[in-house]
Amino acid sequence: MQAPLEIIQLGNPLLRVPAEALSAVQIETALPLLKSLEQIMLSHQGVGIAAPQVGEPLRAFIVASRPNDRYPHAPLMEPTIMINPELLWQSEEMEKDWEGCLSIPGIRAKINRYTHIRVRYLNVLGDVIETEFTGFIARIYQHELDHLNGIVFLDRADKLDIATEAEYRKVMGLD
């Protein structure tokens, strides 16, 4: 029996290891892990999670935007497992907005991200999906893609744009 997945925290060197692409055979083998990722993400009110966040250096993540206590204004989308994701194109326009991370609890930061992106990934059946994302969903995709490259959102933050969760909630009028 597999031990329950745990989200690793900033400071764990596994967060900084670039993830490896999955072959067709590996996709099938990794499916139980990828489906477990969704459960752990939902239980922590996340809107995305990458395999490296549970110590698995696989190029896969889930994007699952939906309103919750951490992100009350998030748009609703079906949780989507994205395997071997790529960023094909990005708009010139960028927007700085708040992000948090399940691997860095209690901290938020304003991060500059592209507002419109075109991406390619494999779904759980191994089908190639090419699509575009905008706004908050584009932000989640870029955040999770960073995890696959050993980057955390604080690496992209200006020190003046970092806040505790409590201060973020005050600024956003969530408390």
Residues near 171 by Cβ (< 8 Å), separated by ≥ 6?
163
DSSP label of 154: G
Residue 70, token pair as written in the block: 């951490």
H helices of the chain, in order, are 24-43, 135-148, 165-171
144 is known as an active-site residue: yes
Q: Which of 28, 99, 144, 167 is catalytic?
A: 144
CB 47 within 8 A of CB 61: no
Residue 153 to residue 151: CA distance in whole angstroms: 7
Is residue 67 a contact partner of residue 137, using CB atoms and an 8 Å limit? no
Active-site residues, by number, are 144
